[in-house]
Structure 1
Amino acid sequence: MDAVMKTMLLIDADNVSVGVMEQAVATLLKEHGALHVRRAYCTAESAAKHQAVFKRLGIRPVVNLATGKNSTDIAMAIDALDLALAERPDVVAIASSDSDFAPLVLRLREKGCRVVGIGQDGKTGDETQTVYDAFTVFGHRAPPAAKKAAAPAPAATSTPAPAPASPPARKTAARKTPARKTARSTEAPAPRGRATPPPQPSPPPAPSASTATSPDKLRQILMALPELVRGDTVELRLAAERLRSAGLLGKSGASTRVFKAHTDRFELLPASNPNRVRLRS
């Protein structure tokens, strides 16, 4: 039997879509039988957004917190050379439509690796494709949620079907019209009591205020605690130190207050007497 080739996939997650990532993993597994290293290089925002996809595909997110136009590309190139020297892969697949990786491709080939490229249709130039030993272009595939959204349409048309049953209801309604008149006259004072509910619309403004600040606050928290993006749990003691260093928590403040303000994104463990925190899927 032929030996399984050691293959690694490095994804520029800020450059290709989720559909391209899914097709890349499926194609490489079909061609080589195994995919030993799967890493996606991205910002903290992208890592949080695609966390469920990374877990499903077995991809390890590598979060880049540095600022700069090409900082993520540089981090990916450095990691690729380190892996090539330490792991000695037979095949290195780079999923990106960026032409800046040409020097990296040449260097990896000199190390004895077969370098294949994977790009997104409409974003990859011909000069980028010719640098690789082989190059595959995948089209952007719409997420399955878009297909499911069309399903409720028939349900909406099926509901009007009971309309023909309305004629018998009209006969009974005609017979009970006098009763309705008396009921209305006797119940006339009731609407005055029901006029009190209108103050209820006042609560909705509260959520809008919190959601307006949550994206930026969430980004700052994830930058201070990158372990959460990788799916790990973090001790609250360590989280408090990091949050204070980032200016997100006062000197005597409790870190649980920060996470409880974003219960839709963070989970405290255990629930009764928490000492750890993790990012919800």
Structure 2
Amino acid sequence: MIVFLIDADNLSAPAWIEEAFQELESEGEISIRRAYGSAENLRGLAEVLRVLAVRPFANLYLTKNTTDLALAVDAMELACQTPRPKTIVIGSGDADFVPLLVRLRERGIRLVCVSEQSKMASEAVSAYNRVIHVGQNKGAQTRQLPITSGKQSLPAPKKVAVKKVPAKKVAAKQVASKKAAIKKIVEKSATGASGEITVQRILDVVPGLKSGKSQRLGDVAKLLHDAKLLGKNAASPKLFKKFPRHFELTPAKQPNEVRYIPSSR
């Protein structure tokens, strides 16, 4: 049994998740598929999670991000079940997961990481049996690490890959269909609602921004959605990042506030 647990605050682009599933098909059937993250990030991934049948788990709204802990608790719970998973895939490059990986390895579970290369912590690489990098121009690139366990020798994956060649051909049409659907989602998320979106239109919909004070990103996003300036599954940070000279997102890594920067004359 293969388990794929996604840190949606880290692996946060629909295209990356779709790319990860394509690459993981060589590992076998992914029985358990879950995504953990803030409500804002999960909203932006809603359509790709629906297409790929991934269960979303939203964080409680707290001052401290709890995504990593929620994912780790579920991973250990699954590892203690009978039968336990053969492989657990973590969709994050954070080094915070290393203690979890050590415990999972002690239970004989094979570990795979999926991460954008720029977000992969170097100290976490050796904790995995395999690391898959997504979000690159030439598609996913993988790094197969030495496996010391007797049951997890290198020839075994080669035999599985040969047997699955016909299955990949049969599934090619399904993968192409999913890829086309994800492409539409990404394009919609980037552009939002129809029509040109300007700084002035945003300020007209959210007049509170004109004060120059920080506003809660969730409240601002709701107003933009209601005014059709933001698509149903579009993420508000992407919209504001189009106007870096006019809007500031804080904190930089996982923003929850936005501030308007008046143009100096």
What is the TM-score when the length of structure 2 is the normalising length? 0.53
Match of 1:114 among 93, 110, 114: 110
2:218 counterpart residue number: 216
Equivalence map 1:15-26=2 (5 Å):
15-18=10-13, 19-26=15-22
TM-superposition CA deviations, 1:141-199 (whole Å, max 9, x none): 697359979xxxxxxxxxxxxxxxxxxxxxxxxxxxxxxxxxxxxxxxxxxxxxxxxxx
Specify the SS of the correspondent of 2:81: helix
1:139 counterpart residue number: 135
Q: What is the distance in 1 between the residues matched to 2:108 and 2:217? A: 44
1:124 counterpart residue number: 120
Specify the SS of the correspondent of 1:8: strand
- Contact 1:17–1:140 at 8 Å: present in 2 too? no
Q: 1:209 to 1:56 in 2, by over 3 A?
A: same
Is 2:3 the partner of 1:8? yes
> CA shift at 1:120, angstroms?
0.7
CA radius of gyration, larger in = 1
**Aligned-residue RMSD, C-alpha:** 3.7
The aligned length equals 168
2:42 counterpart residue number: 47
Specify the SS of the correspondent of 1:74: helix
1:35 counterpart residue number: 30
Gaps of 5+ in 1: 1-5, 150-203, 222-260, 265-279
Specify the SS of the correspondent of 1:94: strand
TM-superposition CA deviations, 1:4-45 (whole Å, max 9, x none): xx100001111123222112111112321x100111110011
Percent of pairs identical after alignment? Answer: 32
Match of 2:53 among 49, 58, 81: 58
Q: 1:207 to 1:125 in 2, by over 3 A?
A: closer
1:74 counterpart residue number: 69
Specify the SS of the correspondent of 1:53: helix
Letter in 2 for 1:78: V
Gaps of 5+ in 2: 140-181, 189-200, 210-214, 234-265
Q: What is the distance in 2 between the residues matched to 1:90 and 1:205? A: 49
- Contact 1:20–1:140 at 8 Å: present in 2 too? no
- Following TM superposition, where does structure 1 have runs of at least 4 consecutive aligned residues deviating by more than 4 angstroms? 140-143, 145-149, 204-207, 209-215, 261-264
Q: 1:263 to 1:147 in 2, by over 3 A?
A: closer
